[in-house]
A and B are shown apart, each in its own frame.
Chain A
Amino acid sequence: METVKLDFWASKRRLDVLRKGVALAAILVLSISMVIPLLWMLAISLKDAQNVFQLPPWRVDWRWSNYVDAWYPYGQPATTGVFWDDVRALLFDKESFWWYLGNTLVVTGLATLGVVVSAAMVAYAFARLKFPLRNSLFVIILGTMMVPAQVTMVPNYILFAHIGWTNSWLPLIVPAWLGGGAFNIFLLRQFFMGIPYDLDEAAKIDGCSAFGIFWRIMLPLCMPAMVTVAVFSIVYNWNDFMNPLIYLQDSSKFTLALGLSQFQSLAGDKTNLMMAAATVVLLPILVLFFVGQKYFIQGIATTGLKG
């Protein structure tokens, strides 16, 4: 018995066990510090207004009505007692989060559709077709990844103001349909390049056009990559603050992120409502991430990223 024990302490296994123990402890401590802010946000969102900063922070009043009140930062619209009129008044109040949610769904949906369609088209051409200037143009695409968005912010604003698109969703949607972003093109191109060329050849012999190959062969095979790009785009557009801030003036056109920032000026005793609204804004993204994370990490891994 004694010798076995000694063996264990002298063996390499001891180091392994020790290392795993230390790693696990580190992971636990770090995970807790990562998650605590989010838990605190949940806790505040369920407190009474006067107890918001009561310590210890985990004391919760379970005031679920915050989640109802938070939908109307400027106060609930007057109700008349007639059921359908009230439903309409509550759902279509243009300064409510219901309205902002609708706006955000429209903007995010249309922009994401544009990103997926146009990035896939561009990426397909760069991955599968031969054409003059292909490499130079691809270097330019990679180069645009290094241009800070803020450099083009002012001219883009001027352009959109000039054609009268400010205070509309067009500046948030139309650019997405024109290229879909360098990072997404890069990611999809890596995917397309991994598909065997025999498929293209076989399809060509069968008389398939370049578009036919793209539509019938590439797209179905690249669904995981498309989902990755779609998730990236949804997260980006859902959280985007700067573009809506610059382009939207009417509060009836606000997105959720911009609507949330309005709480800042209303704040006062509404901190609990603000946190409830913030939780609701985060929730769909969290759900989306849980559902799509498999594709997500796989998608990043396949870009290769070799410099």
Chain B
Amino acid sequence: MAQMTASTAPRLKGSTWEAISAYLFIMPWIVGFVLFMGGPILFSLCLSFAHWDGISGLGNIQWVGLENFRAMGSDPRFPKAVYNTFIFTVASVPLSMIGGILVALLMNQKLKGIAFFRTIFYLPSVTAGVASAFLWFFIFQPDYGLLNYSIRLIAQFTNFFIHLALPFDLPVKGPQWLADPAWVHSAYVIMTLWGVGASMVIYLAGLQGIPEQLYEAADIDGASSWQQFLNVTLPMLSPVIFFNLILTVIGSFQIFTQAFILSGGNGSPADAALYYVLYVYQEAFRLFNFGYASALAWLLFVVVLLVTLVQFKFNGWVYYEGDLK
């Protein structure tokens, strides 16, 4: 054995040898990062100061300075896309955060068959993509869609009882959803909430990491279950909530596949579903304004970065165990 060690031992110092092998191990990532992440980020920064159709050679790139950023000011679809994405984010992030936590709390109960229900809640987020977008396209159909059918059934049922005592009734006809600019964001938020299982799993993992003793101690101190939730569960879960918040905000900035399928690829009705990434896609791959699209993408990047930094800046509410504050 000693002989073998001697023969395979490198002449280099152990730590140098370790560093060399480490860099060999991470070489794929370094190459991938330079080619598909760092390089592209810099390249799109350059492109955002240029005009280019993306098809003709790199020699046809024309430098135009800040022209692309100025063009945003005069392009009526730009504020529209920003506004739509903002509205969607503001509506969907709190709802899916609260929904995810509530569902995770429900799924953290010690009940028989809870694993089955966890699977049910997780299913929609595995089925995300084109297939589920199609499905929702039909669910939202105003006349024969499943959603308005359920609304009608529930309204008729409720009206029966209202009529017994009161002289008014609930509307039986549901909204136009995807065809009505006023309702289109609600439709996308409902779709997003259907996929709440993805964040549920992460909250669940967090909930199960909370030591049981904390609850026992709180019990002995006579804390009610509401107090336990406020003073034990929420603080202990806050790192996970923070992690999810960052991912959810980034994800809602990036809504694309559903919007692409449900709006026929153009953000209809009346650009009400023209979300930012859909807009970038159209400018780049439909209109071949690669320079302008790069400028838009870089703006998104900067905004995401700023929003994430702001969230880190104001993370005083996050409780880290072992942190002396």
Pick from A23, A147, A177, A257: contact of B130, CB below 8 A: A257
Are A178 and B304 in contact (CB-based, < 8 A)? no
Q: State the majority secondary structure of interface residues on B.
A: helix
Pick from B21, B126, B139: contact of A211, CB below 8 A: B21
A82 at the binding interface (Cβ < 8 Å): no
Query: Please, which residues of chain A bring their CB within 8 A of the CB of B243?
Result: 305, 307
Which residues of A come within 8 Å of B, CB atoms? 15, 19-20, 23-24, 26-27, 30-31, 34-38, 40-41, 44, 53, 55-57, 118, 121-122, 124-126, 129-132, 134, 137, 140-141, 144, 146-159, 161-162, 175, 177-180, 185, 205-207, 209-211, 214, 235, 239-242, 245-246, 257-258, 260-261, 263-264, 271, 274-275, 278-279, 281-282, 285-286, 289-290, 293, 296-297, 300-301, 303, 305-307
A260 to B132 Cα, complex, angstroms = 11
A-B contact pairs, 6 of them (CB 8 A): A53-B144, A129-B19, A151-B297, A159-B43, A206-B1, A301-B205
Beyond A122-B29, A282-B127, 19 extra complex contacts between A and B, CB < 8 Å: A19-B225, A34-B197, A53-B141, A121-B28, A129-B25, A130-B15, A131-B18, A131-B22, A141-B29, A144-B33, A148-B304, A151-B301, A154-B280, A155-B40, A206-B1, A241-B260, A260-B130, A297-B201, A307-B315
Give, as a whole number of angstroms, the nearest-CB distance from A96 to chain B: 17
Are B28 and A154 in contact (CB-based, < 8 A)? no
- Which partner residue on chain B sits nearest A32 by CB separation? B120
Query: Please, which residues of chain B bring their CB within 8 A of the CB of A41?
Result: 135
Give, as a whole number of angstroms, the nearest-CB distance from A41 to chain B: 5
- Which partner residue on chain A sits nearest B307 by CB separation? A146
Are B134 and A130 in contact (CB-based, < 8 A)? no
Chain B contacts with A in 222-276, Cβ cutoff 8 A:
225, 239-240, 242-243, 246, 250, 253-254, 256-257, 260-261, 264
With contacts A122-B25, A154-B290, A162-B58 taken as known, whether A289 is within 8 angstroms of B260 at the C-beta atoms is: no
Are A37 and B136 in contact (CB-based, < 8 A)? yes
With contacts A125-B26, A241-B129 taken as known, whether A155 is within 8 angstroms of B44 at the C-beta atoms is: yes
With contacts A55-B149, A130-B22 taken as known, whether A307 is within 8 angstroms of B320 at the C-beta atoms is: yes
- Which partner residue on chain A sits nearest B197 by CB separation? A34
4 closest A-B pairs by beta carbon, nearest first, are A178-B32, A155-B40, A53-B144, A239-B129
Pick the interface stretch among B103-111, B160-168, B178-186.
Answer: B103-111
Chain B contacts with A in 116-153, Cβ cutoff 8 A:
117-124, 126-132, 134-136, 138-139, 141, 143-144, 146, 149
Are B126 and A241 in contact (CB-based, < 8 A)? no
Between A15, A35, A242, A296, the greatest number of chain B beta carbons within 10 A of the residue's beta carbon is seen for A242
B89 at the binding interface (Cβ < 8 Å): no
Are B129 and A257 in contact (CB-based, < 8 A)? yes
Chain B contacts with A in 5-61, Cβ cutoff 8 A:
5, 8-9, 15, 18-19, 21-23, 25-26, 28-29, 31-33, 35-37, 39-41, 43-44, 47, 54-55, 58
Give, as a whole number of angstroms, the nearest-CB distance from B174 to chain A: 13
- Which partner residue on chain A sits nearest B208 by CB separation? A301
With contacts A55-B144, A305-B243 taken as known, whether A150 is within 8 angstroms of B280 at the C-beta atoms is: yes
Chain B contacts with A in 174-224, Cβ cutoff 8 A:
194, 197, 201-202, 204-206, 208-209
Are B21 and A209 in contact (CB-based, < 8 A)? yes
Are B308 and A146 in contact (CB-based, < 8 A)? yes
Are A178 and B28 in contact (CB-based, < 8 A)? yes
Are A34 and B5 in contact (CB-based, < 8 A)? no
Between A129, A150, A153, A175, the greatest number of chain B beta carbons within 10 A of the residue's beta carbon is seen for A150
Between B21, B55, B290, B294, the greatest number of chain A beta carbons within 10 A of the residue's beta carbon is seen for B21
A47 to B208 Cα, complex, angstroms = 44
A66 to B33 Cα, complex, angstroms = 45
Give, as a whole number of angstroms, the nearest-CB distance from B32 to chain A: 3
> 0/1 per residue, B290-320, Cβ < 8 Å to A?
1001100110110011001000000100101
Query: Please, which residues of chain A bring their CB within 8 A of the CB of B143?
Result: 53
A25 to B256 Cα, complex, angstroms = 35
Are B201 and A260 in contact (CB-based, < 8 A)? no
A147 to B303 Cα, complex, angstroms = 11
Are A289 and B202 in contact (CB-based, < 8 A)? no
Pick from B23, B120, B206, B284: contact of A305, CB below 8 A: B206
Are A300 and B47 in contact (CB-based, < 8 A)? no
- Which partner residue on chain B sits nearest A299 by CB separation? B205
Are A178 and B106 in contact (CB-based, < 8 A)? no
A23 to B109 Cα, complex, angstroms = 8
A205 to B197 Cα, complex, angstroms = 47
B101 at the binding interface (Cβ < 8 Å): no
Query: Please, which residues of chain B bring their CB within 8 A of the CB of A159?
Result: 35-36, 39-40, 43
Query: Please, which residues of chain B bring their CB within 8 A of the CB of A214?
Result: 25
Are B35 and A178 in contact (CB-based, < 8 A)? yes
Query: Please, which residues of chain A bring their CB within 8 A of the CB of B287?
Result: none
- Which partner residue on chain B sits nearest A288 by CB separation? B126
Pick from B31, B111, B308, B315: contact of A20, CB below 8 A: B111
Query: Please, which residues of chain B bring their CB within 8 A of the CB of A263?
Result: 134
B157 at the binding interface (Cβ < 8 Å): no
A125 to B30 Cα, complex, angstroms = 12
A296 to B200 Cα, complex, angstroms = 13
Are A289 and B293 in contact (CB-based, < 8 A)? no
A122 to B21 Cα, complex, angstroms = 11
